[in-house]
Amino acid sequence: MRHLLDWLDIDETSWTSCIRDAQRFADHRGTDAERFLGRALGLVFFNDSLRTRVSMELAATELGAKPVVVTPGSGTWGFAWEEGVPMTGGEAEHIREAVGVLSRYCHGLGVRLFAEGNDRQKDVDDVRLKTFAAASDVPVLNLESAARHPCQALADASVLDRTFDGATKGKKFVLQWAWHPKPLPMAVPNSTLLMASRLGMDVVVARPEGFELDAGVMDAARRQAAAHGGSVSESTDPAAAADGAQVIYAKAWGGFERYTDPSVEEARRHANKDWRVTTDLMARTDNGLFMHCLPVRRGVVVDDAVLDEGPSLHLDQAEFRLHAQKAILSMLWGAGE
Ligand code: CP
């Protein structure tokens, strides 16, 4: 049985064929209504969503499968996670039974399970996602966990590959930290970095001091870049990073100090409020394209004009979530194009 928890677990052939499948699904929407007739896809959302929820429900439906959405603690029982601890709290059901039961009804399970923000190693290692997957008898698809967002990564890779006619290698791609009032988790920046380095792009992680990404993810990205003819570097100067870039991908994330000293992390984050993507910053690029996974805070992460006047790929990225997830379902259920 195959899960999709992280693209690092998936071989090059499958990754490349998923990009091609996503692009084919984009060109032929709604032509595969018989492909997975009779199958059920459980979608467990521990956290809010617009794009992932709607695009996963549509992806399953347009391939003939039946999506069933579960929101733990809101219309279903709350789930307990601890092992060997008497369940005397508010949760009526353990995750082992909950996932075990769902995998008797469904042929695949998607799960959204964000970082808890209490235990750094637990979040970096995606312990709760792995616990969920271990309890399942059917393929599990990560719909954004503490540390990865593979659905977003495949959509973004498919958009970039199409935008540059397959010539992503050597293009300058800036993963640009942005200020945000909350210390957001690192799933998207991690997966974006790994995605762009796997496309052989020259990736610059532009971020202030204190907002480094996990060293293991940086190492994995450097290995991906080396294998695909690209590079990975870091900069604390957003203007210099933007110079000559073909892509500015903005994302806010919190620093690791949130786990040890939240007030220090908050003060450091607020001291960098000027890290926002402006038209002046975009003017330094080489006709650069703006990207963001959405939702995005206008006037905080990016100026309205960058989104409204472009060039920006943010709506293409959102659209490709649908096509990419059809490709992923086809891979997991063994019927890729
Ligand atoms: N980009 C993304 O995953 O959007 P949602 O949080 O709305 O699903």
Q: Is the dihedral of CA 217, 218, 219, 222 positive or negative?
A: positive
Question: Is 152 a pocket residue for ligand 1 (Cβ < 6 Å)?
Answer: yes
Taking 50 as the threshold, does the pLDDT of residue 182 lie above it? yes
Q: What is the mean pLDDT of residues 117-137?
A: 97
Q: Residue 336 to residues 106, 139, 325: CA-CA distances in angstroms?
A: 19, 15, 12
Mutation test residue for ligand 1: of 141, 144, 249, the one with most atoms within 8 Å of CB: 144
Q: Is 50 in the pocket of ligand 1 (CB under 6 A)?
A: yes
At residue 62, does pLDDT exceed 50? yes
Looking at the DSSP bridge assignments, the partners of residue 93 are 79
For residue 208, what are its two tokens?
Answer: 């202030």
DSSP 288: P
Is 144 near ligand 1, meaning CB less than 6 Å away?
yes
For 135-159, write each residue's pLDDT tens digit.
Answer: 999 999 999 999 999 999 999 999 9
Complete DSSP assignment for 163-177: HTTT--TT-EEEEEE
**pTM to 2 decimals?**
0.97
Q: Among 293, 296, 301, 320, which is best to mutate for testing ligand 1, by the most ligand atoms less than 8 A from CB?
A: 293
Atom of ligand 1 nearest to the CA of 112: 8
Provide the pLDDT for residue 336: 39
Residue 266 clears pLDDT 80, i.e. is over it: yes
Is the per-residue pLDDT at 97 higher than 70?
Answer: yes
Contact by Cβ (8 Å): 310, 1: no
User: What pLDDT was estimated at residue 323?
Assistant: 98
Domains, the chain, in order of start with CATH, read: 7-148+321-333 (3.40.50.1370), 156-317 (3.40.50.1370)
pLDDT in tens, 202-257: 999 999 999 999 999 999 999 999 999 999 999 999 999 999 999 999 999 999 99
Q: What is the pLDDT of residue 335?
A: 60
The CB of 52 under 6 Å from ligand 1? The reply is yes
Mean pLDDT of the 29-33 span: 83
Torsion angle of alpha carbons 165, 178, 128, 46, nearest 10°? Answer: -90
Q: Which tokens is 276 given?
A: 């926002």
* Cα–Cα distance measured from residue 18 to residue 122, given in angstroms and rounded to the nearest whole number: 29
Mean pLDDT of the chain: 97
75 pLDDT band, cuts 50/70/90, is: confident
Q: pLDDT tens-digit profile of 286-328?
A: 999 999 999 999 999 999 999 999 999 999 999 999 999 999 9
Which atom of ligand 1 is nearest to 293's Cα?
Answer: 1
**Per-residue pLDDT for 337 more than 70?**
no
- The rounded Å distance from CA 49 to ligand 1 centre is 5
3-class DSSP assignment, residue 106:
coil
> Does residue 295 have a cis peptide bond before it, meaning omega lies within 30 degrees of 0?
yes
Residue 187 beta carbon below 6 angstroms from any ligand 1 atom: no
Distance CA 183, CA 178 (A): 11
